[in-house]
Amino acid sequence: MQNQNAILEDLARLASSVAGTVAGAGREAEAKLKEKLREAMGGVDMVSREEFEAVREMAANARAEVAALRAELDALKAKG
């Protein structure tokens, strides 16, 4: 009986060790993938969310202004 308990304890330690090793390998793989992605994206120009939102707002304002000018031009054409 003592022998079986010792075997079970050894198996439990082995399983715990394997789980720790697998988790460590997963973290290492994730870190390497992130590093490779950063290297690959190095030549790509990225903008921040704030810059994107500012340009999007500017574009919306420009579209609204163009629509207003178009309406004004159409009104002038109709008069003329």
Q: Quickly list H helices, the chain.
A: 2-40, 49-79
Instruction: Please give the DSSP secondary-structure letter assigned to residue 12.
Output: H
Q: Please report, for residues 23, 41, 43, 54, 79, the alpha-carbon distance to residue 37 in angstroms, rounded to integers and kept in the order given.
A: 21, 6, 11, 27, 60
Name the residue type at position 33: L
Residue positions counted in the chain: 80
32 and 68 share one domain: no
In tens, the pLDDT along 28-68 reads: 989 999 888 888 877 677 788 999 999 999 999 999 999 99
Distance CA 67, CA 61 (A): 10
63 and 35 share one domain: no
Question: Which of the four pLDDT bands, split at 50, 70 and 90, describes residue 20?
Answer: confident
Per the structure, the complete domain to which residue 9 belongs is given by: 1-44
1 and 40 share one domain: yes
30 and 51 share one domain: no
